[in-house]
Structure 1
Amino acid sequence: MGLKISFSSIVLLLLLTRVVEGQPGVFDVTKFGAKPDADIGPALVSAWKEACASVTPSTILIPKNNYALSQVLFEGPCKSSINFQIQGTVKASGDPSAFKANGPGLPGWVTFEHVDLLTVSGGGTFDGQGATAWSKNDCQTNSNCAKLPISLVFNFVTNSVAQDITSLNSKNFHLQVFGADNMTVQHVTITAPGDSPNTDGIHVGRSTKVTINDTQIGTGDDCISIGDGTQQLTIEKVTCGPGHGISVGSLGKFPEEKEVVGVFVRNCTLTNTLNGVRIKTWPASLPGSASDMHFEDIIVNNVGNPVMIDQEYCPSNQCSKKAPSRVKVSKVSFKNIKGTSSTQLAVKLLCSESIPCENVEVGDIDLAYSGPEGPPTTICSNVKPIFSGKQNPPTCVGGSQSS
């Protein structure tokens, strides 16, 4: 009986989710005038308006083919759920000036905003054509740099899923989740060269209950970056590399930042990344806090600084180090992190002189380093970690050892 129920449930699910041309509730962009190798933006916006107004669940379909796509904004609220199914490849304009920001933040190429019960899926590709813009990105040294677009933006989206899609060569971040509640990103592939600037794979900020699962990220900046206001974020089974690692922060740079509470990173693999798992805050920062952050069961392969708290984060000397960070970091654990470090300094716990880190646990660390300088090392500052289990490299002075 159990087998029959399972089989019938699968058949029913396939029937419900199958997208067929002409099926009621399916809005095929080719029926709205979309043509291969031409801009399908107007057709796609028209399809969205009809789907969003539907009182029954709808599917927007981009069939298999290659299309151009101008900057588009899909706004809710909508009257029912929407499955945005991209089976083909859409390509952004190569001209960075073709993208305009709606406010003080970065512009988006494809933006979903104020939508509930959204699914973006289909196996297709969003090609940001970032190579045309990367040479114009001087944000590391110029605070007034050009605002390049994020490829996929999910603003104030609730109860939604992004899955089985590819983001290729974004001009800026690949995917941003901001102001979201209960969103899942899974089975997503993110790809850009390791030297592409500011191409964070997934950036999460001011969101609650976001899950990133079973996702492959190789890019030129953080594979996943976690901004202020993030609460109850779960990251599992992510492969990262190339890239800059999985990072909380940087925090403390802007006024009125909200606290980070509840970050859980588990069962991830990082390969050939500049950093491993880290928490970073600016020196001379504005006040803030980050707590309840846990990194467990992490494999690192040739990764720089695999375990890191850095409260003196200051890339390209864009800040003053005359005052310590005022971001409070507490209740942090790094456990069962194993593999190889590309730097002699394998464990770096550099906390604020004015607000030392509290309740930091480091357990079962086994990191090998084969460089000419000698064995791997640990450094601690303004923190008294609780060490447990195996410690390779050896623990730093000032910590306590538990059994």
Structure 2
Amino acid sequence: MGIRTATLLLAGLAWCGVLVAAAGVFNVKDYGARGDGTTDDTKAFMDAWTAACGARGWSATLLVPAAKSFLVGPTRFSGPCASSRIIVQVMGTITAPPARPWSEKNYWLMFYQVHGLTVTGGSTGLLDGRGGTWWGDKCKRHADCISKAPTALVVMNCADVELSQFSSKNSPQMHIAVSQSSKVHLTQLTITAPWNSPNTDGVHIDRSQDVRVTRSTIGTGDDCISIGPGSQFVTVDGIVCGPGHGVSAGSLGRKGATESVEYIDVKNVQFINTANGARIKTWQGGKGYARSISFTDINFTNVDHPVVINQFYVDRRDVPNMVVVHVFINCWTICIRVEQLVLPSFPNYKYFHTEGVL
């Protein structure tokens, strides 16, 4: 009798454990999301996030189911959350609204102050930014532009983050921005936009530390990866880049600011049909430094400027390059190391292109 009671008790505990695990999954459809591509599902996503973020335990999962397209407007998913880790499982498609009904927010989806975050797509998840409705109204091209085009996915003031196994296409501006965050790993991502889409950087990193971008394919109209001011200990490894403007450290020193990047390791990158490859860019009139930067095991195929160091960068053709900036390359030994380059024999290559280097 005692053995039977113990067996029943253990079975009951196991059954309860299953219920507890299931309670940790918050499907956006259970909160009213339609997933038909036309109904605004923003509120359902926010309600599901509120429930998932407030759930106690080791982890909680917000589920975006497969084979559905969810129309979601500008949304900020804020922490901190009650669980040690919150998982956003994007199995279907999340679609942005077109430009005209957009709010004044300069982001589409933002994760803010979340510690312990995983966003994964299991290879089927897609973020569709519908950037084509924005690109013709870029502020740098039109005085009557709508507003600053939004970044598709922003990770801000977060720590211990993994973004993996999903696709992002046609962002209005940058696809993914990591800002003021630490311990962030982006891996197995596919990021695409037309070669002539403006400012559609694949991944932009600024004021962040310990960031890794690995095993991903990125082809856009701007930098595949840009490493902005205040970034340290950034690793880029195993990337296929193209089309686009390459992997850039900078730009630094805009509007006379004192800015820096350091401890940047870029390796095992294939640049295919890009305007640039390895690039360092600084603005006129700025101050600061770019140091301890290495590019190793890099392969170039049909690249206009494989290695570029530009110290009087501007992003508009109608602004003259007149003043050499005071951002400088500075370290104790070799600061910019470029080695083991594979440079196919193209007669029009400008192998090392430098402008205004001090």
TM (norm. structure 2) is 0.87
**Partner residue of 2:271?**
270
Query: Equivalents in 1 of 2:213, 2:249: separation in Å?
Result: 14
Q: In the TM superposition, what are the counterparts of 1:275-286 in structure 2 within 5 Å?
A: 275-283=276-284, 285-286=285-286
More strand by share: 2
SS state of the match for residue 109, structure 1?
Answer: strand
* Counterpart check, 1:130 vs 2:135: no
Query: Equivalents in 2 of 1:195, 1:292: separation in Å?
Result: 32
Query: Equivalents in 2 of 1:22, 1:32: separation in Å?
Result: 19
Q: Which amino acid aligns with 1:337?
A: L
Query: Equivalents in 1 of 2:19, 2:161: separation in Å?
Result: 23
Q: In the TM superposition, what are the counterparts of 1:350-369 in structure 2 within 5 Å?
A: 350-352=355-357, 356=358
Q: Which amino acid aligns with 1:295?
A: F
Query: Equivalents in 1 of 2:213, 2:219: separation in Å?
Result: 15
**Partner residue of 2:329?**
329
Alpha-carbon deviation of 1:323? 2.8
Alpha-carbon deviation of 1:315? 3.6
Alpha-carbon deviation of 1:166? 0.6
Of the three residues 349, 353, 357, the one matched with 2:354 is 349
Structure 2 alignment gaps of length 5 or more: 1-17
SS state of the match for residue 52, structure 1?
Answer: helix
SS state of the match for residue 268, structure 1?
Answer: strand
Q: Which amino acid aligns with 1:296?
A: T
Does the C-alpha gap of structure 1 residues 21 and 215 become closer, same or farther in structure 2, counting only changes over 3 Å?
farther
Does the C-alpha gap of structure 1 residues 188 and 198 become closer, same or farther in structure 2, counting only changes over 3 Å?
same
Alpha-carbon deviation of 1:249? 1.2
Q: In the TM superposition, what are the counterparts of 1:80-229 in structure 2 within 5 Å?
A: 80=83, 81-101=85-105, 107-122=106-121, 123=123, 124-139=125-140, 146-229=147-230
**Partner residue of 1:36?**
35
Alpha-carbon deviation of 1:55? 1.8
Would the aligned equivalents of 1:99 and 1:108 in 2 still touch at CA under 8 Å?
no
Does the C-alpha gap of structure 1 residues 204 and 28 become closer, same or farther in structure 2, counting only changes over 3 Å?
same
Would the aligned equivalents of 1:292 and 1:332 in 2 still touch at CA under 8 Å?
yes
Q: In the TM superposition, what are the counterparts of 1:71-86 in structure 2 within 5 Å?
A: 71-80=74-83, 81-86=85-90
**Partner residue of 1:59?**
61
Q: Which amino acid aligns with 1:304?
A: D
Would the aligned equivalents of 1:20 and 1:26 in 2 still touch at CA under 8 Å?
no
Would the aligned equivalents of 1:229 and 1:257 in 2 still touch at CA under 8 Å?
no
Alpha-carbon deviation of 1:233? 0.2
Identity %: 35
Structure 1 alignment gaps of length 5 or more: 1-18, 102-106, 357-403
**Partner residue of 1:27?**
26
Query: Equivalents in 1 of 2:41, 2:101: separation in Å?
Result: 19
Alpha-carbon deviation of 1:95? 2.1
**Partner residue of 2:71?**
68
Would the aligned equivalents of 1:167 and 1:190 in 2 still touch at CA under 8 Å?
yes
Alpha-carbon deviation of 1:329? 1.4
**Partner residue of 1:12?**
none
Query: Equivalents in 2 of 1:213, 1:256: separation in Å?
Result: 30
Would the aligned equivalents of 1:127 and 1:168 in 2 still touch at CA under 8 Å?
yes
Aligned length: 329
1:168-190 deviation per Cα after TM superposition (whole angstroms, max 9, x unaligned): 11111000000010000000000
Q: In the TM superposition, what are the counterparts of 1:368-383 in structure 2 within 5 Å?
A: none
Higher relative contact order (CA 8 A, sep 6+): 2
1:220-249 deviation per Cα after TM superposition (whole angstroms, max 9, x unaligned): 111011110000000000000011111111
SS state of the match for residue 276, structure 1?
Answer: strand
Alpha-carbon deviation of 1:278? 0.7
Would the aligned equivalents of 2:228 and 2:249 in 1 still touch at CA under 8 Å?
yes
Does the C-alpha gap of structure 1 residues 168 and 216 become closer, same or farther in structure 2, counting only changes over 3 Å?
same
**Partner residue of 1:387?**
none
Query: Equivalents in 1 of 2:315, 2:112: separation in Å?
Result: 32
Q: Which amino acid aligns with 2:64?
A: I
1:343-385 deviation per Cα after TM superposition (whole angstroms, max 9, x unaligned): 3322123343xxx2xxxxxxxxxxxxxxxxxxxxxxxxxxxxx
Cα-Cα RMSD: 2.2
Query: Equivalents in 2 of 1:142, 1:269: separation in Å?
Result: 37
Would the aligned equivalents of 2:200 and 2:223 in 1 still touch at CA under 8 Å?
yes
Does the C-alpha gap of structure 1 residues 255 and 77 become closer, same or farther in structure 2, counting only changes over 3 Å?
farther
Query: Equivalents in 2 of 1:132, 1:297: separation in Å?
Result: 38
1:237-266 deviation per Cα after TM superposition (whole angstroms, max 9, x unaligned): 000001111111111114544321111000
SS state of the match for residue 115, structure 2?
Answer: coil
